[in-house]
Structure 1
């Protein structure tokens, strides 16, 4: 088993930031992400609440985090899921779907998860018409009619993103008012 001073599970903004600090501090650092690095900002069209930038493309912001983590010596493993973390003989053992690693410390930076509708057919049609990431799957629906369900920040960001791709975007909201930040609504 390979040893790292610090293993970070989750490569969103918090995980990438922790990796930058750990690696800059001279610690052997491994960052593990079950999908692609970036978390929510990676799928945001614009990030307008990050210090130092009035407005920046989410993917551009995350690319800079990623580059800085790599430049400082962080090892990054994407498409690898952390399944278990436990103590053994004074170390932490991190088990993934690919391997096992030893660590002096483990940081869990798992981030947010999409809210599921819990309706009939949702799981059956997952990735076959039902998606939780417009920025990941949206281009498959170019010039088609799409519906986005929700009234919060994620739903409005997805609808805005899809408005440049789809023929029509229908926003389906369960409540009388939108819950998103006013900056997103415009």
Structure 2
């Protein structure tokens, strides 16, 4: 199945709760929420393909998070972009599998990240194949990542406008 990325929004008054226990903000079955599994946790389920939580409350980046992490991270000798803060992290591998990465971003962190995401242009996306992502045809790869970049931009813009924060997990 692979390592995936999920983010969940929270209201400003939930910031301390999100910092002290991020699991209280996140869904207990984010993949079911992202893929629209109905009914949840049943032995058999229908995949609707429609995210069950509103777009303003949840961001699912599938496996494109890794592309976005590299794209916003420290390239060459330059510093990481502000948007890297929403993609930073790695799972911890153990003999029993992996432990997920979890981070909370406060409402005050969001506007700078949202602004930086909006500044990522087509020329930067075009660099993806040279950054070592050759799983698909290069144009297909760019289109795949561009789709999820658009979702990330919309999510972060809405969070910034509403004064909300987010908890994300990679795992």
Higher helix share: 2
Name the structure, 1 or 2, with higher relative contact order (CA <8 Å, separation 6+).
Answer: 2
Using the size of structure 2 for normalisation, the TM-score is: 0.30
Using the size of structure 1 for normalisation, the TM-score is: 0.28
Higher strand share: 1
